[in-house]
Amino acid sequence: MSFPSSSMPAENSIAEACAELICRTAEANAALMRGDIDAYRGLNPHAADYTLMSPFGGRPTHEAELTQERWQAIGRFFANGTFEQEVVQAYASADMVVLAVIERCRVEVGGLPMQDWPLRVTLVYRREDAEWRLAHRHADPLAKGISLEQASVLARGEAL
């Protein structure tokens, strides 16, 4: 994370907010990988216009679609997981923080056996009054990379 060379108080508070969001994001996602949806939601409040572009693709999900029942189902989707976060880049301004991270999870997902789930993730946080809220999450399972041929099969919507 880089900021201009001067150390004006406003720049310090931006850097502090960014560092706090990095920690809070890691703690929230670690809770999610354990299936603790209440801790995730408490640590990671969403903006009313939040969008999720899931690592499984398809149509983006919007905050209005995330009913209490859906949240509970999301909590049951993950179990017994561990979580590590590598910050690739962080961008911050007075009202917005963007984090580009690699999430390294080892977790049971959707009833599948425990396995590694590395994801490339972009998170956009927006300050609303005095609170930082997650406005957007985009994740993909391509952290290890795929070939052009594999990407073309996915782009056509075919099975690998």
Identify the H or E element spanning 139: strand 131-140
Q: How distant, in Å, are the alpha carbons of 58, 148, 160 from that of 155?
A: 11, 10, 11
- Please name the fold of domain 7-156: Nuclear Transport Factor 2; Chain: A, (3.10.450)
Domain layout of the chain by residue ranges: 7-156
SS3 43: helix
Q: What pairing do the DSSP bridges indicate for beta strands 46-53 and 131-140?
A: parallel
**pLDDT for 159:** 74
**Cα dihedral 115, 116, 121, 126 sign:** positive
Identify the H or E element spanning 37: helix 37-43
Summarised one tens digit per residue, pLDDT across range 6-61 is 445 577 899 999 999 999 999 999 999 999 999 999 999 999 999 999 999 999 99
Judge contact between 92 and 1, C-beta under 8 A.
yes
> What is the identity of the amino acid at 27?
E
Summarised one tens digit per residue, pLDDT across range 81-136 is 999 999 999 999 999 999 999 999 999 999 999 999 999 999 999 999 989 999 99
Q: Is the pTM of this model over 0.95?
A: no
Identify the H or E element spanning 71: helix 68-77
**pLDDT for 7:** 46
